[in-house]
Amino acid sequence: MSAANPTGPLRHFLQLRDFSEDEIHYVIERARLIKDKFKRYQPHHTLHDRNLAMVFEKASTRTRVSFEAGMYQLGGSVIYLTTEGSQLGRSEPIEDTARVISRMVDLVMIRTFEQTRIERFAAHSRVPVINGLTNEFHPCQILADILTFVEHRGPIRGKTVAWIGDANNMSYTWLQAAELLGFTLHVSAPAGYRLDPLRVGQQPASVLREFDDPLEACRGADLVTTDVWTSMGYETENEARRLAFADWCVDAQMMAAAQPDAVFMHCLPAHRGEEVTGEVIDGPQSVVWDEAENRLHVQKALMEFLLLGRQE
Ligand code: CP
Ligand code: NVA
């Protein structure tokens, strides 16, 4: 038996809706407490002796550093694996990898391609599995984004979030957040790169509104956010996307259409002059550095919750 998760059933975090609204609020509030203690140099070693394996099948800066630093700060340790540096790169089945790794560590984070791949891993894992980004979802990033919004502007319920650009992993995770947490998501993407109606299903206008014109999508928004035109794994489409997305660059005019106190977010890495102007991302409404930092704090709360449950 693994020593992990002694207090309850095995839980994974493969997409945002694996958690209830209440659980998301708990993790956000716990992250604020953990962040506050960290800023005051108070130790918070709730995962002493626990070990996290991180499996990266795509590149990363923020996800790796935040999980690795976070686990050490909780008193635990990490093992860093890549496809090329492990037997995954030599065709060992993901199911066998899951069976083996999860007998040796307490928690696994994976960044990979198809959602089905992380689901297959989780189905054969004895310990909690965290989605560190797949083609379909990026739930840890959205936890950090919600925390950042709450810190700057208070509760997100009833607010409007404008997503400008590709219907990618981030946008679908924002959609799950809108459904779960009770805010409205405006989405504008060029033809050919819009949300897939089959994945979206029936959504009321209180949850999702789609716009042809990105400026209209920004109108009245409390938060404007975007992402790279080409996500990892889609690089062969680079040139076609560069042409298609030319008008989907978040600029000062779009921010002026949003609420006067709207914040700008970007999960990073950013390409100034493509999906966002330097004026916006480096301007006074941008909270992207707090957003990046909050990956650290919210993932500490997430790992603690998956292994120990609520700490109230
Ligand atoms: N935002 C994010 O996940 O960044 P990395 O790709 O650097 O991990
Ligand atoms: N949508 C981007 C996010 C990177 C953190 C990608 O998948 O590459």
Instruction: Give the binding-site residues of ligand 2, using a 6 Å CB cut-off.
Output: 133, 168-170, 227-228, 231-232, 267
156, β-bridge pairs = none
Tokens 């999508």 correspond to what residue? 217
Mutate to test the pocket of ligand 2, among 141, 232, 271 (most ligand atoms within 8 A of CB): 232
pLDDT in tens, the chain (312 residues): 344 456 579 999 999 999 999 999 999 999 999 999 999 999 999 999 999 999 999 999 999 999 999 999 999 999 999 999 999 999 999 999 999 999 999 999 999 999 999 999 999 999 999 999 999 999 999 999 999 999 999 999 999 999 999 999 999 999 999 999 999 999 999 999 999 999 999 999 999 999 999 999 999 999 999 999 999 999 999 999 999 999 999 999 999 999 999 999 999 999 999 999 999 999 999 999 999 999 999 999 999 999 999 997
Other CB atoms within 10 A of residue 182 CB: 15
Other CB atoms within 10 A of residue 77 CB: 15
Other CB atoms within 10 A of residue 197 CB: 10
- For position 7, what pLDDT does the model report? 58
- For position 312, what pLDDT does the model report? 74
Instruction: Report the C-alpha gap between 181 and 25 in whole angstroms.
Output: 9
Instruction: Report the C-alpha gap between 292 and 77 in whole angstroms.
Output: 21
Residue 203: half-sphere exposure toward Cβ, Cα within 13 Å: 26
For residue 304, the surrounding DSSP H or E stretch is helix 288-308
Nearest CA to 133 out of 146, 123, 155, 118 is that of 118
- For position 1, what pLDDT does the model report? 35
Instruction: Report the C-alpha gap between 36 and 33 in whole angstroms.
Output: 5
SS3 at position 157: coil
Instruction: Report the C-alpha gap between 17 and 137 in whole angstroms.
Output: 11
SS3 at position 47: coil
Nearest atom of ligand 2 to the alpha carbon of 231: 8
- Residue 164: φ, ψ to 5°: -115, 110
CB 265 within 8 A of CB 144: no
- For position 6, what pLDDT does the model report? 60
Q: Is 268 in the pocket of ligand 1 (CB under 6 A)?
A: yes
SS3 at position 154: coil
The DSSP letter of residue 123 is: H
Mutate to test the pocket of ligand 2, among 58, 115, 137, 138 (most ligand atoms within 8 A of CB): 138
Q: Is 168 in the pocket of ligand 1 (CB under 6 A)?
A: no
Q: Among the bound ligands, name the one nearest to the CA of residue 266.
A: 1
